Amino acid sequence: MAEALVSVLLERLATITMDKFLGELKMVTGVEEAVTTLTRNLKAIQAVLKNAEARQAVEADVGHWLNELKEVSHEMDNVLDEWSTQVLKQKMEGENVKKENNIILSKLLSESSQDCEVPLIIPIVGMGGMGKTTLSQLVYNDEKVKAHFDKRIWVCVSDPFNEVKIARAIVEGLDKDNTSKTSNSLQILMQCIHTLIQGKKFLLVLDDVWNPDHTQWEELVKPFRDGAMGSRVLVTTRNEEVATLMKATVHVIHIKQLSEEFCSSLFYYNAGIDIGGESKMLQDVGEKIVKKCNGLALAAKILGSLMREKKTFKEWEDVLNSKLWELEDIEKQVFRPLLLSYNDLTQEIRNCLLYCVIFPKDYVYDRDNLVEL
């Protein structure tokens, strides 16, 4: 029995190492190395199993060892299922952004004579939770994009629009050892950026831009005018007026809401539920909750995760009928599911979460320091 289990696991691992399947699994961190290690260990186990089952009737220790092996084998099988699930999830999410991804890549990589402005500014506009940052990260890390640009810089802007803070981040992105990155002088920082960027084809991503005024924007973009032809500035924003301010309305990309069908798939996937096996009543409640996501990917993920531990009709109905849905502000469409999830936490976990607000937005946590605090 144990030898048969090991053989099955080895067959599954062999399938994973096929080029096509392995190409998909490279999206899941650490899989290739883990597959190699598991295969090596299982082959070693298989070598000593040949006569172990025959000996278990007379040697108690061997029988105990075989039982332990069976448990480990089942655990390994679960791990393989989890890997497959992660691939499915990433492929599903990838299908949703594929069209916008091809559009953005074409704008970034185009070298047509019409794109003579340096730098060409490409705003990505959409409500919070629509996936603007995720989409930008996909194209930013695309191998073609990496090869196309001499320099790539990613800066999270947020609110308020602080030119000095942004300029420091840009300098550090261009040259992390440059001493000018600590300067409080915008003029010094702008001159440093000009020197580092001159004649180079660059991609600058300004993520989550809110409300800069015209003077702030013109001052920030000034040193980038001397970049090489084909340079790009990719801007994510919730505000259509930002695209107008940047005089980039021709190249603006609008992120649309998800279809209800896809939103439903995302919701049930994160809920860990096979809807085909659920009751009609639970399906009806689930579809009403999905409608409240209003096509927002983040809302569907949050609500799906919230429902993962809720198995009864009453629990689902309580979420559907929550007073929190009555919040009016359109920007709270993402905030509502977050608040529902927050209210579902234990008081101890809420306290830990609230403690984290002492750190600024986009702060990079040090795990050990956070634990000590």
User: What string of pLDDT tens digits covers the 373 residues of the chain?
Assistant: 556 656 666 665 665 554 444 454 454 555 566 667 777 776 766 666 656 655 655 566 666 666 666 666 666 666 665 665 555 555 555 555 566 777 888 888 886 645 567 888 999 998 877 788 888 888 999 999 999 999 999 998 887 888 899 999 999 999 988 888 888 899 999 999 999 999 999 999 999 898 888 888 988 989 998 899 999 999 999 888 888 888 876 788 888 887 888 888 888 888 877 666 566 778 888 889 988 888 888 888 888 888 888 888 888 888 888 877 776 554 556 667 777 888 888 888 888 888 888 887 777 788 888 888 7
**Phi, psi (5° rounding) for residue 228?**
-75, 155
- Residue 135: half-sphere exposure toward Cβ, Cα within 13 Å: 31
Tokens standing for residue 174: 């261009």
d(CA 151, CA 106): 18
Taking alpha carbons only, the member of 297, 3, 18, 243 closest to residue 130 is 297
Measured CA to CA, the distance from residue 95 to residue 135 in angstroms comes to 12
Identify whether the C-beta of residue 53 lies closer than 8 Å to the C-beta of residue 1. Answer: yes
Smallest CA-to-CA distance from 370 within 238, 254, 357 is with 357
Judging by DSSP bridges, how do beta strands 120-125 and 202-209 pair with one another? unpaired
Tokens representing 195 are: 């020197």
What does the block give as tokens for 305?
A: 């995760």
Q: Locate all alpha helices (DSSP H) within the chain, ordered by sequence.
A: 2-16, 19-25, 31-49, 52-55, 60-109, 132-140, 143-148, 163-174, 186-197, 214-221, 240-245, 260-271, 280-291, 297-307, 313-320, 332-343, 347-355, 367-372
**Residue 256 DSSP class:** P
For residue 254, give the 3-state DSSP assignment. Answer: strand
The letter for the amino acid at 361 is K
What is the side-by-side order of every strand in the sheet holding 202-209? 151-158, 202-209, 232-237, 120-125, 253-254
Contact 73, 6 (CB under 8 A): yes
Report pLDDT for 17. 53
Task: Write the CA distances from 225 to 159, 195, 330, integer angstroms.
Answer: 25, 12, 37
Q: Does the predicted model carry a pTM greater than 0.85? A: no
Distance CA 81, CA 17 (A): 15
Is 239 exposed, middle or buried, given 0-12, 13-18 or 19+ CB atoms closer than 10 A?
Answer: middle
CA-nearest of 127, 119, 32 to 334 is: 127
Burial of 54 (0-12, 13-18, 19+ CB in 10 A): exposed
User: What are the tokens at 48?
Assistant: 């000593």
Helix (H, G, I), strand (E, B) or coil at 117: coil
Query: What's residue 21's pLDDT?
Result: 44
* Token code pair at residue 341: 């999830």
Which tokens belong to 209? 């831009």
